[in-house]
Amino acid sequence: MTRYGSTTATNPREAADWSTGRVIRTNLRAVVGRAYPRVIGLTREPSWLFFEIFLPFLAVSAFVFVYRALEAPEAFIGFVVLGGAMTSFWLNVVWMMAAQFYWEKDQGNLELYFTAPMHLMSILAGMAIGGLVMTSSRALAVIGIGSLLYGVTYDVQQPFLLAGVFLLTMIPLYGMGMLFASLFLLWGREAFHLAQLLQEPIYFLGGVNFPLRAIGPVAGVVVATLPLGVGLDAMRQLAFADSGVEGVLPVGPEVLILSAMGVVFLVAARLALGYLETLARREGRLTLRWQ
Amino acid sequence: MAVIDRAEPVRGITLADAWRSFRTAIGLGWAIESNWSDPFLFAVYTMAKPLAAAGILVVMFQVITQGANPEFLQFLIVGSALWNVVFGVMSGLVQSILEDRERYRMIKYVVVTPTGLFPFLLGRSLARVLVSFVAVVLTMLVGVLFLDVELRPNLLYLVPATVLGVVAVIALGVFMAGWCLQLRQEAWSYPEAIAGALYLISGAIFPIDILPSFLHPIAYASPTTWWLEASRRGLLGHGSPGALGGISDGMVLLLLAVSTAIAVPVALAAFAWFMQRARRAGLLDMTTGS
């Protein structure tokens, strides 16, 4: 007779028959466990702190100086600072969500995730929550330092709506990261290069350094597909209400689009994960490093 | 059976040895850089990043100026295009050395071969450097075809400027590669950080007069500043707007030569010291898990 968890089971089948409460508790523990290293890394890994603030700040500074050289209105400096802060989240999504399963496979953790008694969505949710907390501190630092150093003035007339739009942007953004985590794993060795590929082109399409309307009709496609672009467009309208620069759409429709994107990306991530799991078990590629 | 004969002494490393090692490393580097994907995706990857980076600057320029001041646009395009080389060289050298230590775990075997690491490292990173030159050509081509960038190349000026500039950038990359061997973690981020800092101070996309005055001496000391300025003059027929534009062509080339002449021996000496330290401290077969 073997003891599994808190109850004594007479056979493995009985031991595997968990109550709903136990399933939920185990998955919540997995979420907390996977979020923990990212949250605790806030204080334990100073090099992360340096690079995740310093690198976006360098890029922000370069674009601020370009606008200064072009004698642009001051609101554009604010656009760049806000865009720079949001790139921290995008980098986190690309490198620490999308590419993460690939790294985990290289390090031998992925097979443990698959065999552990919790859903992989819990691992992804933990990664997302931990990453969100960790990156928020970096983004706030970029906004704080950038605003002070470059004298950005904000005109926020609806602070709660701005906070709501930010949180609403994070759901599809990290949902996209969850979806990419499965896809990157399927694409194998291309993960590093694909992560690289999702930087400058996305900064360009997402209007990170300029109002999204400036890219013309392509902005419509971006609003329909890229959470970073549509969220940033809405946040700029709310944070710089007096700038006179119009968004691609008013804030209301952009909020609806973000909500829909949140649902679509989370469902797609769930489906992709199921497909990945089936494929990985069938083809036995979970333990193949560097593939 | 006992070994009674002494082995033949190992002869010194010849240029032919170094060349063979360099050539083999080029093939290896190219295979690693390009065989992860099919040619189409590789081409997209090669083109999308530099074009998007230039596209960001072009849209910023158009939004503010509505197309006025085309000289500034030419300044932006050339700076943005050439910066691919700086980033390609620095990240190529650093990532080659780190990948071979951390991922493929080959660096210790390379170091103990008679030719040593240096020619191997240069060859191994050459693929990324070549890709970065493709990005330069592509960005310039888009500038000429779609953005009315007028090239007036002066080869007598451009060729020596390019040679000196690339040598200086390789020297910076060699220094960084040696330095990154010493780091415990996050060494992967250093090329981006240093290239980002140089991007800011070298007048790549804005005149250095815009920088706070305390950064001006660093900007004037960097060979990348003079390389970009000399390349603009060699490609466009005119220099940057602002203070650099007022310096004569000859003086710009001289300052590039002087800064390169300082950077190269300093980088080589530093690399030799870094390697010596890496051998002593056992850093060549260390894996940081980063």
State the smallest CA–CA distance between residue B14 and chain A in angstroms.
Answer: 36
Q: What would the pLDDT profile of B76-103 be if each residue is shown by its tens digit? A: 999 999 999 999 999 889 988 988 888 8
Is B64 within 8 Å of A51 when comparing Cβ atoms? no
Report the percent of chain A where pLDDT is more than 70.
95
- pLDDT (0 to 100) of residue A291: 52
Query: Over the stretch A113-125, which tens digit does the pLDDT of each residue have?
Result: 888 888 889 999 9
SS3 string, A3-45, reads EECCEEECCHHHHHCCCHHHHHHHHHHHHHHHHHHHHHHHHHC
| Mutation choice for A interface testing from B32, B41, B42, B60 by most A CBs within 10 A | B60
**What is the rounded average pLDDT of the residues A21-31?**
94
- Contact call for A55 and B49, based on CB within 8 A: no
Q: CA A260, CA A161: separation in Å to the nearest integer? A: 17
CB-CB neighbors (< 8 A) of B59 in chain A = 204, 209-210, 214-215
Number of neighbours of residue A189 by Cβ within 10 angstroms: 14
Instruction: Give the global pTM.
Output: 0.87
Interface list for B 256-275 with A (CB within 8 A): none
- Whole-number Cα distances in Å, A59 to A80, A239, B53, B70, B89: 9, 21, 11, 24, 19
Within 8 A of B64 by CB-CB distance, chain A residues are 67, 70-72, 76
The rounded distance, in Å, linking the Cα atoms of B51 and B141 is 10
Q: Which of A59, A197, A215 faces B196 most closely, judged by CB atoms? A: A59
Cβ-defined contact of A190 to B41 (cutoff 8 Å): yes
By the CB < 8 Å criterion, does A107 face chain B?
Answer: yes
pLDDT at residue B2, rounded to an integer? 47
Q: Which of B253, B59, B199, B283 is nearest to A205 (CA)?
A: B59
Mean pLDDT of all residues belonging to chain A: 87
pLDDT at A1: 45
pLDDT at B289: 64
B108: tokens are 């210790």
pLDDT(A154) > 70: yes
- The pLDDT tens digits of the residues spanning A62-83 come to 999 999 999 999 999 999 999 9
A193 CB within 8 Å of a chain B CB: yes
Instruction: Provide the pLDDT confidence category of residue A287 given band limits of 50, 70 and 90.
Output: low
Mean pLDDT within B64-71: 90
B41: which chain A residues are within 8 Å (Cβ-Cβ)?
A: 190
pLDDT at B213 over 90: yes
Q: Chain B residues with CB inside 8 Å of A214's CB?
A: 59, 62-63
Calculate the alpha carbon distances from B213 to A70, B46, B210 in Å: 19, 36, 8
Write out chain A residues lying below 8 Å of B37, CB-based.
Answer: 190, 193
How far is residue A129's CA from residue A273's CA, in Å, rounded to a whole number? 18
Q: Does B205 touch chain A (CB under 8 A)?
A: yes
- In contact, B32 and B127? CB cutoff 8 Å: yes
CB atoms closer than 10 angstroms to residue B63: 20
Contact A140/B at CB under 8 A: no
Cβ distance A190 to B205 less than 8 Å, yes or no, reads no
User: Is the pLDDT assigned to residue B23 strictly greater than 60?
Assistant: yes
Tokens linked to B39 = 């040619």
Q: How many C-beta atoms surround the C-beta of residue A11 within 10 A?
A: 9
Predicted confidence band of residue A286 (pLDDT cuts 50, 70, 90): low
Q: Residue B189 — very low, low, confident or very high, per pLDDT cuts 50/70/90? A: confident
Distance from CA of A4 to the nearest CA of B (A): 34
Residue with the larger pLDDT of the pair A98 and B60: B60
pLDDT attached to residue B8 = 62
Residue of A nearest to B204 (CA): A62
Q: Where are the domains of chain B?
A: 16-22+32-281
The per-residue pLDDT for range A214-250, each reduced to its tens digit, is 998 888 888 889 999 999 999 999 999 888 878 999 9
Residue B145, pLDDT score: 94
**Contact status of B20 with chain A (Cβ, < 8 Å):** no
Alpha-carbon distance A183 to nearest alpha carbon in chain B (angstroms): 15
**Closest CB to A193 among B37, B192, B210:** B37
Q: Does B196 touch chain A (CB under 8 A)?
A: yes
Gap between the terminal Cα atoms of chain B: 46
